[in-house]
Amino acid sequence: MPAREGPVVLHCPICKSTAHEFPRIGDATGFLCAAHGNFKVADTIFVLDENYSRQEWEIALRRAKQRARGAWPLIRRADFLR
């Protein structure tokens, strides 16, 4: 894969609005969305490949926020109901 420089603009996986993606942190990618704030997604490539519905994403983010306690919420595959 080609190297990336700085944050890239892409779309929030939850609401599809414009968001910023931060460089990968370990196996997680950080997103900054105007509607959803800061959050990270673990195993991003696999999670995005699942095409979860917006409702599934909202539930997953809520679970991640409950765990985070002030830190960046980290959404994991296990947070999605299936």
The residues binding Zn ion (CB under 5 A) are 12, 14-15, 33, 35-36
Count CA atoms closer than 13 A to 50's CA, side-chain side: 19
* Closer residue to Zn ion, CB minimum distance, 33 or 42: 33
Nearer to Zn ion, 14 or 42 (CB): 14
CB of 10 to Zn ion, least distance (A): 11
Closest CB to Zn ion among residues 31, 42? 31
Instruction: Kindly state the smallest distance separating residue 35's Cβ from Zn ion, in Å.
Output: 4
> Which residue's CB comes closest to Zn ion?
12
Q: What is the smallest separation between the CB atom of 2 and Zn ion, expressed in angstroms?
A: 26
The full 3-state SS of the chain, as one line of letters, equals: CCCCCCCEEEECCCCCCEEEEEEEECCEEEEEECCCEEEEEECHHHHHCCCCCHHHHHHHHHHHHHHHCCCCCEECHHHCCC
